[in-house]
Amino acid sequence: MRITVLTYVEEKERSTEYDVVVRQVVRALRRQGHQVAILGVHADVKRVIAGLQRRRPDLVFNLVEMFAENMFGDIAMEGLLDLLGLEYTGCGPGESYLTQDKALSKKLLAFHGILYPRFAVFARDADFETGGNLRMPLFVKPLRTDASIGIHRNSLVTDMKALMRRVATIHEDLNDSALAEEYIEGREFYVGVLGNQDPIALPPIELDFSGLPDGMPHVLDSKAKWDENSAAYKGTKSILADLPDELRAKLQKVSVDAYRALRVRDYGRVDLRLTDTGDIYVLEVNASCYLARDSEFAMAAAAAGIPYPALIQRIVDLATDRYRRGAGLRTRPESGKKLSANGKKEKEAEARKPAEDPKKPVAEGPKKPAED
């Protein structure tokens, strides 16, 4: 199969400085016998289209997370792939929007009876929106950005003054609405989910905060995620969760329910908090989550007996099967024939023809032999 790995590159269009996950996915695909090419994109839409048309992939393995300086450009890229009639892995633009807008996600979870932290949205250009009466402390984060962007130690607030400072900072620095949600004290788990019609949950991964200094909030802020020299980074680690079978099954069921509620395609990760009373809260649903070999998703797959190359192949299989079942937006012309350039006009003209009177005799012309 011809597969193009589509990825965002920072700085310039022809850069080959890819995120580590790109080379890892490419190697895994080649080990499975696929013909693989990489297309790095930054801000040139014409180059994206030309590159895809030149490569003519059977499938696009979509790793794009933004476009130009737009952190939500991945949604537009998915729409472009749909318009080009290309098959690709992961969510489409609609599903991606559902998971990126955390307030909208929570409303869908509420409809399906899935527990989530009560919240309020502070938008720059809309009225204040709340999902219930809130109790301090509150965890304040950007409404749509991910990867712990905009999350810091002071994201956990205990009074109105601190709350409004964080809201203003998110508005000004990230140009995003602010989401304030009740802080859920408890253990944090990541549950990977694979599949479409019959999704399966992978073994839960627990985020271990035991190495954090005393008094530091148990949250994965930007330093804990990206700053290798910080106390937050050194004090947190992801481990395979040691759980009783019944509790593991509950976490997995909630995760699959949330995955389905937000219409995630192919693969994703659900972030959960488990309270001392046994309540399970969905914090976020991450569609098309990070796929590096050392990611929580790959770690969980390995624990389930799925090595990395097989995991990447499983995602390919899920995407191609989804299109075969007609669950993607791509349409194929019937009988393999392409519509002529003026096909639409011909059809419209045919539709405008007056209906013939069945009583009116029709003059017969010379008969032609039947065409094959």
Are residue 67 and residue 177 in the same domain, yes or no? no
Same domain, 130 and 99: no
Contacts of 11 (CB under 8 A, 6+ apart): 17, 42
For position 127, what pLDDT does the model report?
59
CA distance between the termini of the chain: 34
CATH number at residue 310: 3.30.470.20
Strand partners, 205: 190, 240
The pLDDT of residue 331 is 53
Are residues 38 and 146 both part of a single domain? no
Beta partners for 39? 6
Tens of pLDDT, residue by residue, the chain (372 residues): 999 999 999 877 677 889 999 999 999 999 999 999 999 999 899 999 999 999 999 999 999 998 887 878 899 999 999 999 999 999 999 999 999 999 999 999 999 999 999 999 998 776 565 656 789 999 898 887 765 566 777 888 899 998 988 898 888 888 888 999 999 999 999 999 999 999 999 999 999 988 888 877 787 766 666 667 777 777 889 999 999 999 999 999 999 999 999 999 999 999 999 999 999 999 999 999 999 999 999 999 999 999 999 999 999 999 999 999 986 654 544 434 443 444 444 444 444 545 444 444 444 444 433 333
- 259 and 153 in one domain? no
Instruction: State the pLDDT at residue 213.
Output: 80
220, part of any domain: no
Residue 26 corresponds to which amino acid? V
Structure tokens at 316: 């390919």
Residues 6 or more apart in contact with residue 279 via CB below 8 angstroms: 115
- DSSP letter at 269 equals E
What CATH number did the domain enclosing 161 receive?
3.30.1490
Same domain, 45 and 145: no
Q: Which of 60, 81, 63 is nearest to 319 (CA)?
A: 60
DSSP at 88: B
Does residue 127 lie in a domain region?
A: yes
pLDDT of residue 235: 83
193 and 164 belong to one structural domain: no
Structural domain includes residue 192: yes
Contacts of 203 (CB under 8 A, 6+ apart): 240, 241, 248, 300, 303, 304
| Pairing mode, strands 2-8 and 35-41 | parallel
Q: How far apart are CA 37 and CA 20, in angstroms?
A: 16
**Residue for token pair 């839960």:** 204
Backbone angles phi, psi at 329, to 5 degrees: -90, -10
Model pTM greater than 0.85?
no
Within a domain: 344: no
Claim to verify: residue 82 and residue 103 sit in the same structural domain? no
Count: domains in the chain: 3
Is residue 125 domain-shared with residue 168, that is, in the same domain? yes
In a domain, 357, yes or no: no
Please tell me the predicted confidence (pLDDT) of residue 344.
46
Q: Is residue 372 part of a domain?
A: no
Report if residue 18 sits inside a domain.
Answer: yes
Per-residue model confidence (pLDDT) at position 146 = 65
Same domain, 18 and 162: no
Number of DSSP helices (H) and strands (E) in the chain, helices first: 12, 14
* Enclosing domain of residue 50: 2-88
pLDDT of residue 216: 79
Residues in Cβ contact with 290 at an 8 Å cutoff, skipping those fewer than 6 apart: 21, 297
Distance CA 115, CA 251 (A): 12
CATH number (domain holding residue 16)? 3.40.50
Same domain, 109 and 197: yes
User: Do both 53 and 80 map to the same domain?
Assistant: yes
What pLDDT is recorded for position 132?
A: 60
Return the half-sphere exposure (C-beta side, CA atoms, 13 A cut-off) of residue 284: 24
Question: Has residue 212 been placed in a domain?
Answer: no
Q: Based on the fold, state whether residues 104 and 124 are members of the same structural domain.
A: no
